[in-house]
């Protein structure tokens, strides 16, 4: 079968020398139909996320169940599914208190269900959505109605869940609060529309690509800052001044309640902390290289109730959250189709990667099969 395999040292290839084993009792075999491209995929290629090679790539996908293990009860052959990247155990304390992203089994669970030229080949992020078939844990297979286009549904698997979940589950943004979202890609756009649904009064989108302003506003942004042309901290503080006469008041007063950093850039995370109002929170959503540090002034946090929060996968509860987002999409209350900038065929994967790197896409989707 065909798939994109990471070979190490920044190299990957489309190959037909990939195969996958049959599912074990609690596993599901999926024919992948569509896979969204995410900066996490780029992070594997450029070494930001170290991953052993060879590995079948991709982690944002949707498809159709082909076969199930003998003990599977959560899905059946023929089901259309979104593949959650969280392969949590479903049994531990975090899983049973509504925090599956904190399940110890959901990190470091690399497996080798594939072979590449007959040799063992690992999965990526428990998913490998850029292969024609994959094998996942049954808890990852979340059924959706057949009328939802899989080229749109695949985005929920990572980008949408991460962005929207960070707003709804982690931050729990309240009506009337103010927010800034750094990065207008799939994650950022999902955060923006989640903020609009939550009732945020002002939502500022920030990006270095000015052409992303229209889509940011269509998804709910009330303001846009072109980071290539403006000092971001000054521009945002001017939108949320302490008073008509002062942009920054005593002890740094003025600014926003929430800042969602979706780029993984440590300088942007530092800026997120600098634009907070008293009691504000910066939410680290984007993933930088391992070992990245950000210097944080402690006194403004201690004296002014400011917070830095890290969020994994939007603190998602996939078997609740994915159907909820699908229902909102079917009711016209959550944009998915509009987030897809372009659909590529699998042989065009290198062009899709190039377009993602250039910043030209909100989200690119690869038609896998």
Q: Which residues pair with 343 in a beta bridge?
A: 365
Q: Which domains, and CATH codes, for the chain?
A: 3-157+336-367 (3.90.180.10), 163-313 (3.40.50.720)
The whole-angstrom separation of Cα 191 and Cα 285 is 10
Task: Answer whether 363's CB lies under 8 Å from 155's CB.
Answer: yes
How many C-beta atoms surround the C-beta of residue 230 within 10 A? Answer: 13
Which ranges of the chain does DSSP label H, i.e. alpha helix? 39-45, 93-96, 150-153, 159-165, 186-198, 213-218, 232-239, 266-274, 298-304, 318-330, 349-358
Task: Answer whether 81's CB lies under 8 Å from 30's CB.
Answer: yes
Coil, strand or helix at 267: helix
The whole-angstrom separation of Cα 339 and Cα 315 is 22
Residue 94: per-residue pLDDT: 97
Residue 264: per-residue pLDDT: 93
Q: What is the pLDDT along the chain (369 residues), one digit of tens a residue?
A: 999 999 999 899 999 999 999 999 999 999 999 999 988 888 888 888 889 999 999 999 999 999 999 999 999 999 999 999 999 999 999 999 999 999 999 987 889 999 999 999 999 999 999 999 999 999 999 999 999 999 999 999 999 999 999 999 999 999 999 999 999 999 999 999 999 999 999 999 999 999 999 999 999 999 999 999 999 999 999 999 999 999 999 989 999 999 999 999 999 999 999 999 999 999 999 988 888 998 888 988 999 999 999 999 999 999 999 999 999 999 999 999 999 999 999 999 999 999 998 888 889 999 999
The whole-angstrom separation of Cα 59 and Cα 275 is 33
Cis-peptide into 120, omega within 30 deg: no
Backbone dihedral region for residue 301 (phi beyond 0: left; psi -120 to 50: alpha; all else: beta): alpha
Residue 108: per-residue pLDDT: 75
Backbone dihedral region for residue 123 (phi beyond 0: left; psi -120 to 50: alpha; all else: beta): beta
How many C-beta atoms surround the C-beta of residue 84 within 10 A? Answer: 28
Q: Do strands 141-144 and 61-68 pair parallel, antiparallel, or not at all (unpaired)?
A: unpaired
The whole-angstrom separation of Cα 188 and Cα 272 is 14
Residue 331's contacts (CB-CB under 8 Å, 6 or more residues apart) are: none
């Amino acid at each position: 079968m065909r798939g994109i395999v990471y070979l190490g040292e920044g190299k990957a290839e489309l190959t037909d020398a990939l195969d996958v084993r049959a599912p074990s009792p609690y596993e599901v075999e999926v024919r992948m139909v569509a896979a969204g491209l995410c900066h996490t995929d780029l992070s594997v290629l450029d070494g930001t996320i170290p991953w052993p090679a060879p590995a079948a790539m991709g982690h944002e996908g949707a498809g159709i169940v082909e076969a199930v293990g003998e003990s599977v009860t959560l899905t059946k052959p023929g089901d259309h599914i979104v593949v959650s990247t969280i392969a949590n155990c479903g049994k531990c304390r975090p899983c049973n208190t509504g925090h599956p992203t904190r399940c110890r089994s959901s990190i470091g669970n690399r497996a080798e269900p594939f072979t590449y030229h007959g040799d063992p080949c690992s999965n990526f992020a428990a998913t490998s959505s850029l292969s024609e078939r994959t094998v996942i844990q049954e808890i990852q297979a979340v059924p959706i109605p057949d009328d939802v286009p899989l080229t749109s549904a695949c985005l929920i698997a990572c980008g949408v869940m991460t962005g929207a979940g960070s707003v709804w589950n982690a931050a729990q943004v309240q009506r009337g609060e103010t927010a800034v979202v750094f990065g207008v890609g799939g994650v950022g756009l999902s955060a923006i529309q989640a903020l609009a649904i939550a009732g945020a009064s002002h939502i500022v989108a920030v990006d270095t690509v000015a052409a992303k302003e229209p889509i940011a506003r269509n998804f709910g942004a009330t303001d846009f800052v072109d980071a290539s042309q403006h000092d971001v901290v000054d521009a945002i503080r001017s939108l949320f001044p302490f008073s008509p006469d002062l942009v920054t008041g005593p002890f740094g007063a003025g600014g926003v309640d929430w800042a969602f950093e979706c780029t993984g850039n440590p300088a942007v995370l530092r800026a997120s902390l600098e634009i907070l109002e008293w009691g504000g929170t910066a939410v680290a959503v984007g993933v930088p290289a391992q070992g990245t540090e950000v210097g944080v002034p402690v006194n403004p946090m201690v004296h002014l109730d400011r917070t830095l929060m890290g969020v994994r996968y939007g603190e998602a509860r996939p078997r609740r959250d994915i159907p909820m987002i699908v229902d909102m999409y079917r009711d016209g209350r959550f944009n998915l189709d509009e987030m897809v900038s372009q659909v590529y065929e699998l042989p065009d994967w290198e062009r899709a990667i190039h377009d993602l790197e250039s910043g030209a896409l909100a989200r690119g989707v690869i038609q896998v099969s």
